């Protein structure tokens, strides 16, 4: 059995972020993205394809005439927006926004059928096809997002209207699907409802929801005929990349040891597996989840935390198959990885989870949105040559620059909901122990043994690695504060109340456990040395052979054409080259950049010959690298993460 | 105007090849491939998908019942077989084979309609759709191959039955298509009929055939509505890689400056342009053809002479876009490049054409067939990692090993017809000048000024670069013999009758012109120094940055897993490393291999980490390279042409 301790979910209201790096990003979501997405959902943005999402609810509610439009899972965009907007209210109350949310909730409630069913696609467009398309219909997926929205809305506003709606819907699902005789033995093509049901259980304490989540997870990969016989599944019959493994249904979850298929589906399933391991103490499920974790992070993950190395099927492929230019690395998959890592960090004290959570957050997730919050990458390659990316058929999924909105707009609201709930990911609490996973300036309050304990983090992270944590209990308290030493960090010191704290004897899988009696004014000072590192891939990753990536702290860097000229493949960093960091106050609102002496081919030494035996002249150049997540914010051009080394 | 000299076509009967390198290959085609293909055409090979080609003719001739089966261009397989078999009779008479050919010709004649029309697909399967599908119907393409077959059969056997058949067919085409009022103003999607008509004109002296060829070439890209409105064209309407440029019809041929679209179509069109420039003295068409030549060989060709860098559309893409692992490099395209280069070499004295003809022949063409003649590559990538190649969607066109036969079996008979007619490519004759383009042992006879002149080449080329050419006129004659100094060769000597021959003053664009009065027993001795060269790509070819390819003489080498272990990407050749040649008598019937001291990562220095900052240990290893064209003849495994250099 998994250690049964109370893993308190962090209430966003406990956490007030005030952080040099994140303030801008959170504000951008609140001030720009959420209003923009509201307009998008309401089809009010000129030159952007209409979402139809709100209009579909209006039609389903009988308030408008018309046909359903958009993707079958268009409802989930509205749900994710409610979720993100709910979190934003905890960050910054906004009565006007709340009014819009209330109206949308009213509308959603009106679209619900009498039996509890709620899905505008099937209600409006396919009324006789309900519960017949589990592989691609996204009915349960949309249900899941609506449940997550309802929980967030309830927690932010105290209003339970949407919660009642989704409970009725969950009850309806529970009536027709489940292990009991006469019920459908099915599972959803796209996992999401599983983790949503666990959240609903946490809020309502209704065991049936937990049981249903367990059923979905355990049923996956069993009695698959219902699934493979579906018409939509059959569309992919001849396509080996859209078979059962695409849906993580090629076997039961307990027999799966490698991450297969659609990478977002995989992440959401693994989240649910972790949730259930935590809620039910299922040790074998935990072991299984850990096996999958190791496969993902040791064999199938880009250095940016990007997941999915093939566009066709948006999916995992093979161990060590990580091409940079045709990567899929969907923003949503990296977001899913953050979700999963967070859950794993609750299950087990091991920095490897928060390390990856941080990696994905600072790199593969945040490359998904432009600095001004107006444009998005769905796909996040690690190497872009715009001409080829715009032309070649095998790059058809790659955009050389961020775009305003997508027909399939899953990623933008997903970034919004993650960013506005960022406070949830900084800490976890297990009984009397607080774990500090992320270094983000904040002022937070926890209840330990019934007493309030305030933690105030002050830091410029990731600009530097100096973190101060003031620990202020309302009255003296003995408890543990565990601070993570990231695996990228080789030199670090921890001081407690001004005294150097002994680390070796307090080392716990990458966390320094500080067990003491805390008083008002207690202080932890953490210094994480943050030199630039030249990172190398496992030698089995053939695309990165002989190449390095520059990383400083958790931030992966890249070279852009705007800084370094075109033909970035001709840049070589000598093995002995020192990479220097510098702070550029004018770039991206102030950013740490890297420079290094490198070599590149002198243009004038090129003949017209396509192949020649003479060598090229090289010249010394100074190269400049910027954080990967910020690439493409100036002008369209080449970008590489992996640079040749010699 | 192009210089109007008589460019005599070489009759295969003039040339008797006896060559250490080629004897085996030619015999393999004659003894194994042609009989095998006969069985394939007749659906007599177990475990190989039936071709239906002969059966289709039988049905069209009314000798069998049934439906047309196979590709719309299935007739061309039979035609290419007749062409190859005809050439083989000049190499080695074979009454039994000739009997089979005669029977097939009789059958084909029976399948011809009264009005001259000949195409089993449209006769049997689409009788009301004749001349309505120029973009993908391949009607004119099949006509072209049948014409080439008829000419070859006539030249080999003196039998004119098939020649009469194709003349009637060509007359029929000429009646309905052409510049005159009332005729269709069309052109074929897949060029081929153009160069065939020029050959038919050469044999028949019928000006109408030349005129029709000119019409097709000049009409291309004009009044395209007939083409783009076709139903089959429309299938690709939303597919940018199947638009007019796929067919080289995006503009008139005279305005085309870059090689676009389907690479085999492009080669066949450029061949026809060269043919017409030669036959009609059209200097502007020649200039145009030269511009296209420069674009192909300086910007869009693999070092193996492979063409086409994208599987989707089997086509050219962009300048310098030459990915190795997802290359298309269709065998037929390299064969087309040989055809084109041969024609260009007739038009202009410049070694650059024969250099490329040789490059394609020894590398990209001959990789297309296994050493035993039983298996084929349609696609010839320059880098194969079997796991990824077998799995990834963007490698769907790549086979990691040669296969027995294809549903679309264009390449095998194309290799057969090229190999059995190889004698045609060694020499060209212009009036009193003989040009020696290829170094292949042979005993040949030319008529100059009405006198017989025997040339006997003796050489081990490409095993070494020593060539002796005995020149034996039946009586004393003053004429020119021009020997090519390949561009890969930096050190060379030419001796004539034992005396060192002055090269500088006799240098003519890469040929040493030897003008003298020849007598029985005259002798040219050519020594081409053939060291191993480390070849580098133009710096704009991003996939090859920092990499070298090993080449010796015209032969490009590769590394295979069977010789060097797996993970070939981890091999690095130091800049100062010497590459040594050795002769391995047991490999591939005796072959020159290359070895070099290189470095590779020590396996034991690998941690489980996917990304790490510590460097890997390297060890010295001796690597072994084999000719690219011979890869995949031992066992399935990795292969790379481009190797990292440091």
Q: Is A536 on the interface with B (CB under 8 A)?
A: yes
Please calculate the CA angle B260-B266-B271 and round it to the nearest 5 degrees.
Answer: 140
The reported pLDDT for the residue numbered A420 is: 96
Contact yes or no for B69/B55 (Cβ under 8 A): yes
Residue B7 lies in a domain: no
Q: Which residues of A touch B392 (CB under 8 A)?
A: 310, 317, 321
B516 and B609 together in one domain: no
DSSP for A612-634 reads ESSPPPEEEEEEEEEEGGGTTSS
The reported pLDDT for the residue numbered A47 is: 81
The verdict on a CB contact (< 8 Å) between A567 and B540 is yes
Q: What contacts B503, CB < 8 A, 6 or more positions away?
A: B485, B492, B494, B512
Q: How many domains does chain B have?
A: 3
Distance from C-alpha of B352 to C-alpha of A59, rounded to nearest angstrom: 70
Q: What contacts B148, CB < 8 A, 6 or more positions away?
A: B79, B83, B195, B196, B199
The verdict on a CB contact (< 8 Å) between A538 and B575 is no
pLDDT digit string, tens, across residues B98-116: 999 999 999 999 999 999 9
Tokens coding B424: 């045609």
Distance from C-alpha of B521 to C-alpha of B542, rounded to nearest angstrom: 53
Q: Which of A301, A388, A569 sits opposite B545 (nearest CB)?
A: A569
Burial (0-12, 13-18, 19+ Cβ within 10 Å), B490: exposed
Is A410 annotated in the active site? yes
Phi, psi of A68 (to 5 degrees): -60, 135
In the sheet where B522-528 sits, what is the strand order? B15-17, B442-448, B451-459, B466-473, B522-528, B492-496, B499-500
Burial (0-12, 13-18, 19+ Cβ within 10 Å), A512: buried
The verdict on a CB contact (< 8 Å) between A572 and B321 is no
Q: Is A299 on the interface with B (CB under 8 A)?
A: yes
Contact yes or no for A271/A344 (Cβ under 8 A): no
CATH of the domain at B416: 1.50.10
pLDDT digit string, tens, across residues A507-559: 999 999 999 999 999 999 999 999 999 999 999 999 999 999 999 999 999 99
B146 and B235 together in one domain: yes
DSSP for A38-94 reads HHHHTT--TTS----HHHHHHHHTTSS-S---S-TTTHHHHHHHHHHHHHHHHHS--
Distance from C-alpha of B207 to C-alpha of B92, rounded to nearest angstrom: 33
The reported pLDDT for the residue numbered B7 is: 66
The reported pLDDT for the residue numbered A1 is: 47
pLDDT digit string, tens, across residues B454-484: 999 999 999 999 999 999 999 999 999 999 9
Mean pLDDT calculated for residue range A494-498:
98
For residue B1, what pLDDT band results from cuts at 50, 70 and 90?
Answer: very low
Helices B161-176 and B207-219: angle between axes, nearest 10 degrees: 50
Place of tokens 């040669």: B402
Please calculate the CA angle A208-A214-A215 and round it to the nearest 5 degrees.
Answer: 85
- For the cut 80, the answer to whether the pLDDT of residue A6 exceeds it is no
Mean pLDDT calculated for residue range A335-361:
98
**Cis, peptide link before residue B262, omega less than 30° from 0:** no
Tokens coding B124: 């049997």
A357 and A273 together in one domain: yes
Give the structural domain span for B107.
12-425
Q: Which chain A residue is nearest to residue B321, measuring alpha carbons?
A: A388
> Parallel, antiparallel, or unpaired: how do β-strands B579-584 and B555-560 relate?
unpaired
A167 and A242 together in one domain: yes
Distance from C-alpha of A345 to C-alpha of A348, rounded to nearest angstrom: 5
Residue A2 lies in a domain: no
Distance from C-alpha of B577 to C-alpha of B569, rounded to nearest angstrom: 17
A395 and A268 together in one domain: yes
Q: Which residues of B touch A297 (CB under 8 A)?
A: 610
Please calculate the CA angle A551-A557-A560 and round it to the nearest 5 degrees.
Answer: 155
CA distances to A440, A592, A633, B38 from A589, rounded to whole Å, are: 18, 10, 12, 73
Residue A262 lies in a domain: yes
Contact yes or no for A496/A453 (Cβ under 8 A): no
Annotated catalytic residue: which of B410, B479, B489, B558? B410
CA distances to A66, B305, B387 from B639, rounded to whole Å, are: 58, 17, 12
A161 and A197 together in one domain: yes
Is B314 annotated in the active site? yes
Contact yes or no for B193/B141 (Cβ under 8 A): yes
Q: A364, A391, A425: which is the final residue of a domain?
A: A425
- For the cut 80, the answer to whether the pLDDT of residue A410 exceeds it is no
Element (H, E) at B626: strand B618-627
CATH of the domain at B520: 2.60.40.1180
The reported pLDDT for the residue numbered B606 is: 73
Distance from C-alpha of A387 to C-alpha of A391, rounded to nearest angstrom: 6
Q: What contacts A509, CB < 8 A, 6 or more positions away?
A: A348, A349, A350, A351, A352
Closest-CA distance, A71 to chain B, in angstroms, reads 21
Put residue A18 in one of left, alpha, beta given phi > 0 → left and psi -120 to 50 → alpha. Answer: beta
Closest by CA position to A148, among listed A499, A418, A512: A418
Residue A3 lies in a domain: no
Distance from C-alpha of A66 to C-alpha of A58, rounded to nearest angstrom: 9
Q: Is B393 on the interface with A (CB under 8 A)?
A: yes
A489 and A596 together in one domain: no
B177 and B204 together in one domain: yes
- For the cut 70, the answer to whether the pLDDT of residue A408 exceeds it is no
Listed by number, the residues of chain B in 221-260 with a beta carbon closer than 8 Å to a beta carbon of chain A are 241
Tokens coding B409: 């079996």
ipTM value for the complex:
0.95
Q: How many CA atoms lie within 13 A of B246 on its CB side?
A: 19
Distance from C-alpha of B29 to C-alpha of B48, rounded to nearest angstrom: 19
Q: What contacts A502, CB < 8 A, 6 or more positions away?
A: none
% chain A with pLDDT above 70: 97
For residue B43, what pLDDT band results from cuts at 50, 70 and 90?
Answer: very high
Residue A71 lies in a domain: yes
Bridge partners of B568, per DSSP, are none
A185 and A292 together in one domain: yes
Phi, psi of A392 (to 5 degrees): -70, 145
Mean pLDDT calculated for residue range B121-139:
95
Residue A339 lies in a domain: yes
Q: B528, B544, B561: which is the final residue of a domain?
A: B528
Contact yes or no for A328/A315 (Cβ under 8 A): yes
The verdict on a CB contact (< 8 Å) between B326 and A394 is yes
Contact yes or no for A526/A467 (Cβ under 8 A): yes
For residue A3, what pLDDT band results from cuts at 50, 70 and 90?
Answer: low
Closest-CA distance, B232 to chain A, in angstroms, reads 20
Residue A65 lies in a domain: yes
Closest-CA distance, B398 to chain A, in angstroms, reads 13
Tokens coding B444: 């040949």
Distance from C-alpha of A306 to C-alpha of A327, rounded to nearest angstrom: 8
The reported pLDDT for the residue numbered B87 is: 97
The reported pLDDT for the residue numbered B49 is: 84
Q: Which of B299, B318, B614 sits opposite A610 (nearest CB)?
A: B299
Tokens coding B363: 């590398």
pLDDT digit string, tens, across residues B535-564: 999 999 999 999 999 999 999 999 999 999
Q: Is A574 on the interface with B (CB under 8 A)?
A: no
pLDDT digit string, tens, across residues A599-612: 999 877 678 899 99
Place of tokens 């042992």: B441
pLDDT digit string, tens, across residues B158-212: 999 999 999 999 999 999 999 999 999 999 999 999 999 999 999 999 999 999 9
The reported pLDDT for the residue numbered A66 is: 95
Q: Is the dihedral of CA B20, B26, B29, B30 positive or negative?
A: negative
3-state secondary structure of B636: coil
CA distances to B17, B387, B437, B645 from A538, rounded to whole Å, are: 52, 17, 48, 19
A223 and A371 together in one domain: yes
Q: A528, A557, A581: which is the final residue of a domain?
A: A528
> Parallel, antiparallel, or unpaired: how do β-strands B427-430 and B7-8 relate?
antiparallel
Q: For residue B95, count other CB atoms closer than 10 A to its CB.
A: 7
A496 and A369 together in one domain: no
The verdict on a CB contact (< 8 Å) between A545 and B313 is no
Mean pLDDT calculated for residue range B385-405:
93
Residue A1 lies in a domain: no
Distance from C-alpha of A499 to C-alpha of A522, rounded to nearest angstrom: 11
Please, what is the end-to-end C-alpha distance for chain A in angstroms? 50
Contact yes or no for B253/B220 (Cβ under 8 A): yes
Q: What contacts A272, CB < 8 A, 6 or more positions away?
A: A191, A194, A195, A198, A213, A216, A217
Q: Which residues of B touch A601 (CB under 8 A)?
A: 539
The reported pLDDT for the residue numbered B602 is: 87
- For the cut 60, the answer to whether the pLDDT of residue B4 exceeds it is no
Q: Is B313 on the interface with A (CB under 8 A)?
A: yes
DSSP for A537-576 reads E-TT-GGGTTEEEEEETTEEEEEEHHHH-S-GGGEEE-TT
pLDDT digit string, tens, across residues A559-617: 999 999 999 999 999 999 999 999 999 999 999 999 999 999 987 767 889 999 999 99
For residue A46, what pLDDT band results from cuts at 50, 70 and 90?
Answer: confident
Annotated catalytic residue: which of B98, B148, B192, B314? B314
Distance from C-alpha of B598 to C-alpha of B608, rounded to nearest angstrom: 25
A522 and A547 together in one domain: no
Average pLDDT, chain A: 95
Distance from C-alpha of A249 to C-alpha of A262, rounded to nearest angstrom: 11
- For the cut 90, the answer to whether the pLDDT of residue A642 exceeds it is yes
Tokens coding B99: 């009997």
For residue A304, what pLDDT band results from cuts at 50, 70 and 90?
Answer: very high
The reported pLDDT for the residue numbered A5 is: 52
Tokens coding A479: 């408890």
Distance from C-alpha of B634 to C-alpha of B629, rounded to nearest angstrom: 13
pLDDT digit string, tens, across residues A239-298: 899 999 999 999 999 999 999 999 999 999 999 999 999 999 999 999 999 999 999 999
Strands (E), B439-521: 442-448, 451-459, 466-473, 477-484, 492-496, 499-500, 507-508, 511-518
The verdict on a CB contact (< 8 Å) between A539 and B567 is yes
Longest Cα separation, chain B: 79
């Amino acid at each position: 059995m998994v250690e049964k301790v109370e893993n308190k979910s962090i209430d966003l209201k406990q956490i007030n972020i005030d952080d040099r790096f994140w303030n801008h990003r959170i504000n951008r979501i609140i001030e720009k993205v959420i209003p923009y997405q509201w307009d998008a959902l309401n089809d009010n943005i000129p030159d952007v394809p209409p979402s139809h999402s709100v209009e579909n609810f209006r039609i389903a509610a009988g308030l408008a005439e018309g046909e359903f439009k958009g993707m079958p899972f268009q409802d989930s965009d509205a749900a994710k927006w409610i979720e993100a907007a709910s979190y934003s209210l905890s960050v910054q109350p906004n009565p006007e926004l709340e009014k819009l949310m209330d109206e949308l909730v009213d509308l959603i409630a009106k679209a619900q059928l009498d039996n509890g069913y709620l899905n505008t696609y099937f209600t409006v467009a396919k009324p006789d096809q309900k519960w017949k398309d589990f592989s691609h219909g996204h009915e349960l997926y949309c249900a899941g997002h609506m449940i997550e929205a309802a929980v967030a809305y309830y927690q932010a506003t105290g209003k339970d209207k949407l919660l009642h709606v989704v409970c009725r819907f969950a009850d309806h699902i529970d009536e027709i699907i489940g292990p009991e005789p006469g019920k459908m033995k099915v599972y959803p093509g796209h996992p999401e409802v599983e983790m949503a049901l666990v959240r609903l259980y946490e809020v309502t304490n209704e065991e049936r929801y937990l049981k249903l989540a367990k059923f979905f997870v355990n049923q996956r990969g069993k009695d698959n005929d219902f699934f493979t016989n579906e018409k939509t599944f059959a569309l992919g019959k001849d396509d080996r990349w859209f078979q059962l493994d695409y849906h993580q249904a090629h076997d039961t979850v307990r027999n799966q040891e490698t991450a297969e298929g659609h990478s977002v589906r995989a992440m959401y399933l693994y989240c649910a597996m972790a949730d259930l391991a935590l809620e039910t103490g299922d040790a074998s499920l935990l072991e299984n989840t850990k096996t999958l974790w190791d496969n993902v992070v040791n064999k199938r993950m880009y250095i940016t935390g990007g997941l999915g190395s093939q566009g066709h099927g948006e999916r995992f492929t093979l161990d060590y198959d990580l091409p940079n230019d045709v990567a899929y690395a969907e923003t949503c998959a990296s977001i899913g990885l953050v979700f999963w890592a967070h859950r794993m960090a609750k299950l087990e004290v091991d920095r490897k989870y928060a390390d990856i959570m941080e990696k994905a957050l600072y790199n593969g997730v945040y490359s998904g949105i432009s600095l001004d919050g107006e444009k998005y990458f769905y796909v996040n390659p690690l190497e872009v040559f715009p001409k080829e990316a715009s032309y070649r058929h095998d790059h058809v999924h790659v955009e050389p620059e961020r775009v305003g909105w997508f027909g399939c707009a899953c990623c933008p609201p997903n970034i919004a909901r993650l960013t506005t709930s960022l406070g949830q990911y900084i800490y976890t609490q297990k009984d009397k122990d607080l774990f500090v996973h992320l270094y983000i300036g904040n002022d937070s309050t926890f209840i330990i043994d019934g007493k309030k304990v305030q933690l105030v983090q002050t830091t410029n992270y990731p600009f530097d690695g100096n973190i101060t944590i003031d620990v202020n209990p309302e009255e003296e308290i003995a408890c543990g504060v565990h601070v993570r030493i990231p695996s990228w960090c080789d030199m670090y010191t921890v001081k407690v109340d001004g005294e150097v704290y002994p680390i070796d004897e307090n080392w716990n899988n990458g966390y320094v456990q500080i067990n003491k009696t805390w008083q008002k004014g207690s202080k932890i000072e953490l210094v994480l040395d943050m030199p630039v590192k030249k990172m190398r891939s496992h030698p089995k990753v053939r695309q990165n052979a002989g190449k390095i990536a520059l990383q400083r702290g958790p931030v992966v860097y890249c070279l852009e054409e705007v800084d370094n000229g075109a033909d970035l493949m001709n840049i070589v960093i000598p093995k002995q080259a020192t990479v220097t960091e510098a702070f550029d106050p004018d770039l991206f609102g102030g950013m740490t950049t890297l420079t290094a002496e490198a070599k590149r081919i002198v243009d004038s030494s090129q003949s017209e010959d396509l192949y020649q035996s003479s060598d090229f002249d090289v010249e010394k150049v100074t190269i400049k690298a910027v954080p990967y997540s910020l690439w493409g914010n100036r002008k369209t051009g080449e970008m590489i993460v992996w640079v040749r080394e010699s």
